[in-house]
Amino acid sequence: MKRDLLYSASVMCARLLRLEDDLVALEAAGCDELHFDVMDGQFVPNITLGFDFIRAVRSSTGLPCSAHLMIERPERYVERFVDAGCHSVTVHVEACTHAHRVLNQIRAAGASPGIAINPATALTKLDYLLDSADRVLVMTVDPGFAGQTILKGAFERVRILSENLRYRKLNARIEVDGNITVRNAALLANAGASILDCGTSSIFDGRHPGEALVDFREKVALERKLV
């Protein structure tokens, strides 16, 4: 089943000193959701964002907020992220001792559960989790920093995962995060991805973010017909 592409703006890459302006522009341009990369300096070598930051953003926009928890023991914080206003919470399979329990915890808290997987982790680690998640976030770079180059295996991983979901008649969306350029977005979307996390490679490149999103969306639609 071919799905419409959803464009998720990576807040970590926005102009933080002019964040409200960027949020207004993105909402007016038809952005589908805001993507919050939450890092603890332990699971990944960086520290970013948090509950109060997300809560402040929620007061400035009507866009849905999705939290991508790149943190150890995420089960300790699920309810706090939902309380802060996240409609979706994604945790890493590598960070969860009992991943089923955490996905069920997210749904019980009132949010949509997602499961993320790092580039070096075998896709088979997801086999018994796919029916408990609404989205699967395939990292196309090693997590932790913006501005990296996509890893070549990302396209094949998305294709294999998409075929697995289709074969099992599961409805989880595939999300991709890392170096989402126009060409990479088109290739990943054609392979089965339906949520694009847009950062410095796509919409936060110094241009007006609303105009950049409109331009990026149009170019991806055209590029998908060419690749």
Active site includes 205?
Answer: no
Angle CA(141)–CA(10)–CA(52) in degrees, nearest 5? 120
- In angstroms, rounded to a whole number, what is the distance separating the alpha carbons of residues 79 and 91? 13
Contacts for 59 with CB less than 8 Å, ≥ 6 apart: none
Contacts 24+ apart (CB under 8 A), 215-223: 216/7, 216/182, 216/185, 217/5, 217/7, 217/30, 219/182, 220/5, 220/182, 220/185, 220/186, 220/189, 220/196, 223/182, 223/183, 223/185, 223/186
Q: Write down the catalytic residue from 22, 37, 40, 197.
A: 37
Burial class of 72 by CB neighbour count within 10 A (0 to 12, 13 to 18, 19+): middle
Backbone angles phi, psi at 184, to 5 degrees: -60, -40
Active site includes 177?
Answer: yes
Contacts for 168 with CB less than 8 Å, ≥ 6 apart: 130, 131
Q: Write down the catalytic residue from 22, 32, 40, 177.
A: 177
Q: Cite the active site residues.
A: 37, 177
